[in-house]
Amino acid sequence: MRIVKKCRWWVGLAVLSVAGALCALVSSCSTTSRTVMAPPQIEGATFVGDKVCADCHAPISHVFPASPHARLHLDHSQMAGQQGCESCHGPGSKHVAAGGGRGKFIVNPGKDPEACFACHQEIQAQFHLPQHHPVIEGKMNCVQCHDPHGADIMKPAGGLAMARLNQTCAQCHREQSRPFIFEHEALREGCTVCHNPHGSINPKLLVQRDSNLCLKCHAQMQGPGTGGVGHLFIGQVDHTDLLRFGSCWSAGCHTAVHGSNVHPRMFY
């Protein structure tokens, strides 16, 4: 009985699969002219080549060879759909025939991340972790943070060609990126030292959920005056018992992790 209960899930799945396969088999006898297409495919369109795109999108085509995405731009590449503008934006013949225009027969990865996920599957997986920026929900998109055509892909499009420190995150997270009397120097190395911006299993997109997050920078050599093995000093302060309460920031001490106007140790 226990085995039956244990296998119930799999049996159900198997039955569903067989039923689905049978339905597909039966329905396949019917004829239909329709084809399923996934982005960046475009109904009825054919490839026209980068030179055609450059006619109207010259500013992009000028700078694109400096983009990290241009690494994949293999002239005469053997695998179809791997090269050039149309590998992300879809075949452009209908867009050209329509005389161009915003969103006219062209894939805009800025509105739908599926074109990006076609290559960045590991990032797609991260967006399906419990905590993530709402990209797959359609409330954000990849190009809000990444310039797919410019020399520096780790910044939004526009402005200078190279990113400023924390520029991408600061455009929304002003509360954390504003100046403080006492800054947390970790921000000089960028937000991604502590956060995984695509997705994480941890709240606030943290890369670690416990004090290891802080100790990887703040651990120090312990001396004989610290009480020996099992004791942990940080700076001049014995943290051995304090760390039992929880993490450095969740235990009520260094709560102002992005900076403080009150205390140099990020209290309050």
Task: Map the footprint of other proteins across residues 142-181, applying CB under 8 A.
Answer: 151, 158-162, 164, 174-175, 178-181
The rounded distance, in Å, linking the Cα atoms of 140 and 41 is 22
Q: State yes or no: residue 105 binds other proteins (CB under 8 A).
A: no
Q: State yes or no: residue 10 binds other proteins (CB under 8 A).
A: no
Bridge partner residues of 200 (DSSP): 131
**196 touches 207 (CB < 8 A):** yes
Site for other proteins in 71-90 (CB under 8 A): 71-80, 82
**176 touches 258 (CB < 8 A):** yes
Q: State yes or no: residue 236 binds other proteins (CB under 8 A).
A: yes
Residue 182, classed as helix, strand or coil, is strand
What are the CA-CA distances from residue 4 to residues 12, 21, 82 (Å)? 11, 24, 49
Least distance in Å: CB of 89 to other proteins?
Answer: 14
Residue 183, classed as helix, strand or coil, is strand
Least distance in Å: CB of 190 to other proteins?
Answer: 10
- Pick the closer one to other proteins by CB: 1 or 87: 87
Site for other proteins in 205-224 (CB under 8 A): 207-213, 215-224
- Pick the closer one to other proteins by CB: 5 or 78: 78
Residue 260, classed as helix, strand or coil, is strand
Q: State yes or no: residue 108 binds other proteins (CB under 8 A).
A: no
Q: State yes or no: residue 17 binds other proteins (CB under 8 A).
A: no
Give the pairing of strands 237-238 and 131-132: unpaired
Select from 7, 15, 18, 37 the one that contacts other proteins (CB under 8 A).
Answer: 37
Select from 14, 15, 19, 262 the one that contacts other proteins (CB under 8 A).
Answer: 262
Select from 8, 14, 66, 111 the one that contacts other proteins (CB under 8 A).
Answer: 66
Residue 243's CB is within 10 A of a number of other CB atoms, namely 18
